[in-house]
Amino acid sequence: MVYSVEHLGLINYTDAWDYQKKLFNNLIEKKQKGEKGENLLLLCEHPHVYTLGKNGNRKNLLISDTQLKKIGAAFYPIDRGGDITYHGPGQLVGYPVFDLDAFHLPIKDFVFNIEEMLIRTVGEYGITATRLEKATGVWIDARVPEKSRKIAAIGMRIHNKVSMHGFALNINTNLEYFNNIIACGLQDKGVTSMQKELGMPVDEKEVMEILLNKFEEVFR
């Protein structure tokens, strides 16, 4: 294993972002010096927050600042790819701060592996998920446009083949918060969670343990 796992628990988005940037910059600096840096997978959960990728459209946030305060949610334009998404309780968020060269992975294969790990994770619960062409993330009923729904989102920043930001898996997520955005800028696609698909709450600690096992399978 060429990475370590750090559990941040419930953490404000900006605190996690600042920590990521510190690790990201340190890893790039070491790489540029020809030194070996530490690859870290950060796992956490955030209070209600919407984040908008650098190429996203602010209009995909459908509520005002006043309404954001009313529902107890924050909003941040950030430096990852992708459009707008939601993070909140009941969702498992992972931030791999990795030097992709340490894994001998091109960028495309790295994202493919993240998707694969998530597909295998939900598959342990009998949920059949797949990729959707030209739409990063993990989807259910991807080939049926009127039914396709995203169960896990992926948004990265990769510079000098070093990654930050990452993925979010909806476990027991309150999906009503997605009604305030056009998730990922896709008007004709839905969002789902493991709880919704299974019709019952899911043990989040168990999901995390399974996800870590699948992560190791894919990235070993």
Mean pLDDT, rounded, of the chain: 93
The rounded distance, in Å, linking the Cα atoms of 152 and 30 is: 32
Enumerate residues 6+ apart whose C-beta is below 8 A from 82. 53, 55, 56, 136, 153, 154, 155, 184
Residue 91 · residue 173 · CB < 8 Å: yes
User: Does residue 208 lie in a domain region?
Assistant: yes
- Indicate which CATH number applies to the domain containing 82: 3.30.930.10
* Distance, CA of 12 to chain centre: 15
129-146 pLDDT, tens per residue?
999 887 889 999 888 878
Range of the domain at 76: 4-214
The rounded distance, in Å, linking the Cα atoms of 52 and 36 is: 32
Active site residue 44: no
Work out how many domains the chain is built from and give that number.
1
111 token code pair: 């994202």
One of 184, 207, 208, 211 is an active-site residue; which one? 184
User: Does residue 19 lie in a domain region?
Assistant: yes
pLDDT level of residue 163 (50, 70, 90 thresholds):
very high
What number is the average pLDDT over the span 87-92?
A: 97
User: Does residue 219 lie in a domain region?
Assistant: no
Q: Identify which has the larger pLDDT, 63 or 146.
A: 63
Name the least confident of 30-34, 81-85, 156-160.
81-85
The rounded distance, in Å, linking the Cα atoms of 30 and 44 is: 25
User: Does residue 220 lie in a domain region?
Assistant: no
